[in-house]
C-alpha cells in the first residue's frame, strides 16, 4: 500500500504526464496536455460545500496541486472546480446524470464526475457509496457501463501509468515491424 500524501500524488501525476506525452508524441496525436494552476484551499472547501460532500484526500491533494488536467487521457479532461460547476462540462455532467437516472445507474447519479469527455457517454466518477476509513472513494471508469474501478485517485494514476507503458511498448514494437 502507498502513503496518501502530496509527494505520492505529485510523483504519480508527473509519471502519467510524462508517459502520456511520450505516447501522444509516438502516435503523432498532436495533443499537448496542460495542468491547471492549483486551487486554493478556500476554493476546495467551497466546492465541497457546493457538493454537500467531502472530497477524498488524494483528490483534494490533486486539486491543490493542479485544478484540472487538460487532455489527461486523449480528449478526456480531469475537470477543474469551475468546469464542474458551470459551463459546457457542467451541462454535460447534468445530461449524463439525467441519462443515468433513466437507466438506474446509481453510481453515476450520486457520484462526482471528475473526468469528462464531451460527447461521450461516460467519464471518471468518484463513487460516493464506496468510501474507506481514510475518506478515499473508489473511482469508476464508466463508458456505457463500468469499464474499470480503482481504489482511489492514486490507484487510478498508478494503473494509468501501467496502461501507458503497455501502449508505448506495443506502439514501438509495431513501428519496428
Cell 510524462, residue located: 18
Domain count for the chain, please give it.
1
CA–CA distance, 140 with 75 (Å, rounded to integer)? 17
Closest to 58 (Cα-Cα) out of 167, 141, 131: 131
CA distance 30 to 26: 10
Q: What percent of the chain has pLDDT over 70?
A: 94
Predicted confidence (pLDDT) per residue in 27-56, tens digit: 998 889 999 999 999 999 999 999 999 999
Residue 47 lies in a domain: yes
Please tell me the distance from the alpha carbon of residue 158 to that of residue 96, in angstroms, as a whole number: 27
Domain with 118 in it: 6-176
Q: Decide which of 133 and 108 is more confident.
A: 133
pLDDT grade, residue 66 (50/70/90)? Answer: very high
Helices in 27-135 by DSSP H: which ranges?
41-51, 57-65, 81-85, 88-103, 106-110
pLDDT confidence of residue 1: 59
Q: Tell me what the mean pLDDT of segment 115-141 comes to.
A: 89
The pTM of the full predicted model, rounded to 2 decimals, is 0.91
The answer to whether position 28 is within a domain reads yes
The reply to whether 20 falls in a domain is yes
40: in domain: yes
User: Tell me, what CATH number does 41's domain have?
Assistant: 3.40.1580.10
Residue 1 lies in a domain: no
Instruction: State the cell numbers at 122.
Output: 461516460
Assess if residue 126 is contained within a domain: yes
The confidence score (pLDDT) of residue 73 equals 87
Q: Please indicate whether residue 129 or residue 100 has the higher confidence score (pLDDT).
A: 129
Amino acid at each position: 500500500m502507498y502513503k496518501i500524501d502530496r509527494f505520492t500524488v505529485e510523483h504519480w501525476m508527473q509519471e502519467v504526464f510524462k508517459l502520456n506525452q511520450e505516447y501522444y508524441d509516438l502516435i503523432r496525436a498532436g495533443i499537448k496536455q496542460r495542468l491547471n494552476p492549483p486551487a486554493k484551499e478556500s476554493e476546495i472547501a467551497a466546492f465541497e460545500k457546493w457538493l454537500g460532500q467531502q472530497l477524498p484526500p488524494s483528490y483534494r491533494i490533486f486539486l491543490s496541486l493542479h485544478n484540472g488536467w487538460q487532455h489527461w487521457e486523449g480528449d478526456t479532461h480531469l475537470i477543474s472546480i469551475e468546469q464542474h460547476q458551470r459551463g459546457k462540462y457542467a451541462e454535460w455532467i447534468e445530461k449524463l446524470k439525467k441519462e443515468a437516472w433513466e437507466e438506474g445507474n446509481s453510481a453515476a447519479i450520486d457520484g462526482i464526475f471528475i473526468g469528462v469527455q464531451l460527447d461521450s457517454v461516460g467519464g471518471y466518477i468518484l463513487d460516493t457509496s464506496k468510501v474507506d476509513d481514510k475518506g478515499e472513494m473508489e473511482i469508476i471508469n464508466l463508458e456505457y457501463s463500468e469499464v474499470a474501478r480503482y481504489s482511489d485517485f492514486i490507484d487510478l494514476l498508478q494503473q494509468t501509468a501501467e496502461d501507458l507503458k503497455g501502449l508505448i511498448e506495443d506502439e514501438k514494437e509495431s513501428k519496428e515491424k
